[in-house]
Amino acid sequence: MSSSIIKCLHLSDFHVGKDNYGQIQLFDSILEHIKETVNPISDLEMIFITGDIANRGEKSEYDSFVELFILPLSDILKDPTKIFIVPGNHDVNRSEARAVRRYNVTEDIPEFFDPDETGQKERKLLFPRFKNYIDGDFHEFVIEEEEWIYSEKGIFTHVHEKNGYSIGIIGINTAWLSESDEDKQKLSPGKALVENGLKEIHDCNLKIVLGHHPLNWFDEDFTSIKSLFGKNNVIYLHGHLHKINTSQEYGAGQQFLTLQTGAAFQARENEKWTNRLLWFELDLDNNFLKVEPRQWSKQNQEWALEGGAFPEIYRETGTDFWKLPITQPKKKL
C-alpha cells in the first residue's frame, strides 16, 4: 500500500444487548471479514466507531462488547492500528439524572458547553448518565484522553502522523442532551467545545470529526457548527440513521464532507433490516477518499458490496470503490 494512503474501517450502532445470539454471529462475521479484507493486517491503520455500542447504556452491555468484539479484535490487529470511539444516544443510561432538564438547557445556562471549569460544573449533572460508558473496559484498547467526557474540554483530540502528513482527529459527544425518541433538532455537542477542539488541531493537513448524530439533529448550534466544519474542511463521520450515505455540505461558504455508516447490528439476518459497515482509504497525496460500502447478505452469508450507497458518478470504473474528493481550503479571490 502506498505510504500516503491510510486504510480505515468505520463502524457504528452495535446496540449490544438487543439480541445476544444474533450479535455473537455479527461480531464473528465482522472479525472474519477484517481478516479476509486486510492483508497484511498492519495496513489497517484506524478503526472509527461512532456510537451506540450499547442498547441501554448498561454495564453488562459494555462487558459483552469487550468480551465478544474488542478482545478478539485486539488479537487480530497489529500495532499501530488505532481505535477511536465516541458515544451515541443508546450509550446514555436514561435511568440516571432523570430530573435534570436537557432540551433547551442552554437557554437558561448559556455557559453549559464552555470548555472550562464553569462549563464542566454545569455538565457534571449529566455525568451519571455516561458512567457505564466511561467505566467500560474497552477504553484500555482505544485512543482518547482519559475520561474526556468528564473533562473541561468535553472532547478528545489526537494527531495521527503519516509520511509527513498530520491528520487531526476530534471525538465529540452529540448525546449530551439525548432524552427520548424526540431528540431531533434538540441536541448539541457544544459549539464552544467543538471550536476549542478544532483549534487544537488547527495546523493539521486533514481534520476528521467523530460524532454519532447527523448535523440536522443539532439544535440552534446547527448553523454555527456547520460554519466551523466548513472553515476547517473537515470530514465528519457519524452513524445513527442506520444507512450508508455521504454528502458535500457547506458552512461559511466552504465545503466539507459528511460520511455516514450504517448500523453494524440492526437486527438478526433480515431482508428489511440490514447490517452494514464502511471501509475507506484516505489518499493524502491526491486528496480523495476511496470508499467501499458493505452490507450483510443473508442469502450469500457474506459482507457484500452495497452498490446503491453512493452516486455512480463517483464510482471508479470496473471496481468496488467510489472516489470522493477531499475538500481543500477555498482561496480568496
Put the strands of the sheet holding 206-210 in their side by side order.
156-162, 165-171, 206-210, 235-238, 254-260, 245-251
The DSSP secondary structure of 236-274, one letter per residue, reads: EEE-SSSS-EEEEEEETTEEEEEEE---S-SSSS-SSS-
Q: Domain 5-325: give its CATH architecture.
A: 4-Layer Sandwich (3.60)
Burial of 313 per CB tally in 10 Å (0-12, 13-18, 19+): exposed
Distance in angstroms (rounded) separating the CA atoms of residues 261 and 79: 25
The residue ranges of the chain whose pLDDT is under 70 are: 1-2, 80, 99, 101, 270-272, 329-333
Distance in angstroms (rounded) separating the CA atoms of residues 330 and 333: 9
pLDDT, one tens digit per residue, over 268-287 is 776 567 899 999 999 999 99
CA atoms within 13 A on the CB side of 210: 28
pLDDT, one tens digit per residue, over 45-59 is 999 999 999 999 999
Distance in angstroms (rounded) separating the CA atoms of residues 127 and 98: 12
- Predicted TM-score of the model (pTM): 0.95
